[in-house]
Amino acid sequence: MKTLYIIGRGIDPSAHLTIEGIQALQKSEVVYGIEPEKQTWIELAAKYDIPEVTDITQLYRCGSEDQKNYSNFIDFIKEKFHTKSNIALLIAGHPRLGVTFAQTINKKIGNDIKIKFIANVSSFDIMINDLSLDPLEQGSCLVDANRLLLFNYHLETSINYFVYHICSVGTKRLNFDDSLKDNQLSLLRDYFLKFYSHNKIVYFCKAANGPNEQGCYTPVVLSELIDKASIINFGTSLYIPAENPKSFNRDFFNLLN
């Protein structure tokens, strides 16, 4: 049966590429991806005897609707299966975290092609490590910015929040060369101000994407979120640190002692 390997390559493939991922790449006839670290992949190809990566950046068009870009990928891959039996597609980070494409391809690729997802380190893993944070200690929530506003979630301020996709609030288009275009970030700021004080310190977080890039963690006063928005790009998330709980269950506490 033909197989599509959707391989999480981690945040830095030179450090994070897993043994399972390498084995899948070795089985693949061709490997596709949007890869900024081209030299890294040339070195990995030589080291592990895997195909060099074919860049498909041109299929992801800036300013186009997300679903249209996903369809471009899927149509391209389906066409390649006319002559190939094993194809690998590289996904930054973990292929199940914040990757709508991964959900879409399951429905559209066809029953004659087996899809195998291969896990890896995600941007969340890198962020909690860089922030020296145990996400279970105070509790943590990962949420998409647009879903947060769409479903009007009530925020529990005593847990940490990691808000993804703040580069495209209120739009279904990703302008990866201009994160402020069409971005309704003020809607997100105003929503947070319902739960937090104006002087709450939050962080724009960008995990390093390869060995030649440094992670960036920028503190921002919540009320000034828009003033600092120019540093946002498609890989930026918003981290809101937990506050002290407002209630305490002493009866339950006594059960733990």
pLDDT at 63: 65
Give me the residue spans of the domains in the chain.
Answer: 2-121, 124-240
Q: Which residue has the higher pLDDT, 112 or 224?
A: 224
CA dihedral over 167, 107, 69, 116, signed as positive or negative: positive
Phi, psi of 86 (to 5 degrees): -130, 120
pLDDT at 62: 67
Cross-strand pairs, 205: 217, 237
pLDDT at 61: 76
* Sheet (strand 201-206) strand order: 140-144, 160-164, 237-240, 201-206, 216-221
Which range, of 111-125, 201-215, 231-245, averages the lowest pLDDT? 201-215
Q: What is the tens place of the pLDDT at every residue in 237-255?
A: 999 999 999 899 999 999 9
> What's the CATH class of domain 2-121?
alpha beta
pLDDT at 115: 93
Report how far apart the first and last C-alpha atoms of the chain are (Å, whole number). 56
Structure-block tokens of residue 171: 């739009």
Mean pLDDT of 227-245: 92
pLDDT at 148: 96
Mean pLDDT of 97-118: 81
2-121 and 124-240, same CATH topology: no
Burial class (CB in 10 A: 0-12, 13-18, 19+), 57: exposed
pLDDT at 210: 67
pLDDT at 176: 66
Q: CA–CA separation, 210 vs 12, rounded Å?
A: 4
Q: What is the distance, to the nearest Å, from the Cα of residue 141 to the centroid of all Cα atoms in its chain?
A: 14
Burial class (CB in 10 A: 0-12, 13-18, 19+), 30: middle
- pLDDT above 80 for 103: no
Cross-strand pairs, 216: 206
Residue given tokens 């947060």 in the structure block: 148
CATH topology assigned to domain 124-240: 3.30.950
Q: What is the tens place of the pLDDT at every residue in 27-79?
A: 999 999 987 778 889 999 999 999 999 998 888 776 677 778 778 888 899 89
Angle at Cα 9 formed by Cα 5 and Cα 15, nearest 5°? 140
Confidence bin at 99 (pLDDT 50/70/90): low
Structure-block tokens of residue 151: 């479903």
